[in-house]
Structure 1
Amino acid sequence: MSVKNQLREDMKQAMRSGDKARLGVVRMALAAIQQREVDERIELDDAGVLGVIEKMIKQRRESVEQYRAGGRQDLVDKESAEIELLSAYLPEPLDAAELAALVDEVVAATGATSMKDMGKVMAELRHRAQGRADMAALSAQVKSRLG
């Protein structure tokens, strides 16, 4: 089942069970997916849907930092709960050893030897590790490997 269909099924289930928090998050995710599809006039595949969900999680993490700095624990709790619900739709994250092996494999496959090749390596990594790794951390690994 595709991620988008899973979201739709979870929305129906949340409606039936009266889980308002889950229903709100799922509806928000579906709305963000639909907005991107309308804006770009495309039908998102699973990788695109995972990209939208990752972006939503990133936004919420940034919000959590801001709310913590402002002393708003109630909003920190709300955003953290949303992060947890959205994270359930992402695939199992790669551990450090798997990430290092993936970086080595992609660097070898693309023939990258210097920082000039970083874009090529990151494009391939983004494709292979979508939803399973933090791209900023991956970028740092690639820089250290190529630099």
Structure 2
Amino acid sequence: MAGYSVRNLIVIAVLLIAAAWQYFSGQVGQSPSQTKGTTSTLASNTPAKTLAQLRAATNDPNAKFWTTVQGTVIKNLKDDQEGDRHQKFLIQVAQDLSLLISHNIDLAQRVPVREGDNVKVQGEYVWNNRGGVIHWTHHDPKGRQTGGWIELNGKRYN
């Protein structure tokens, strides 16, 4: 290694270690809204058993079950206007897991969520190729099942 001083080699080694640390800690390429408060806070708010069930479901196209999760709103999406109208937004429930929330606003009040808000959601999980969707976040108008809800700042929307 002619031409390289020990000092230069140490600097290169430190830079490589720092880059590896950043890469393996999952921070590269994520915006502050994706990392802010999602690593340990969310994992402790959604039970480990539920997270394990959701992770397994992401690989199962037949997955469909009722669940309750807590997460941070990472993106508000455009309302779905076809058929029954649905408010849509994404929540991060763990560093490696985000879910689409599809909330029927013909049956329930719109939830005034903003990016960064923490929400608790109960509804039916259904597989999709992007991690899954939770719908039925509203009461059952026919009274056949309990129905779901979204909770924001202590207020429940169902």
After TM superposition, the score normalised by the length of structure 2 is: 0.28
- Which has the larger helix fraction? 1
Structure possessing the higher radius of gyration over alpha carbons: 2
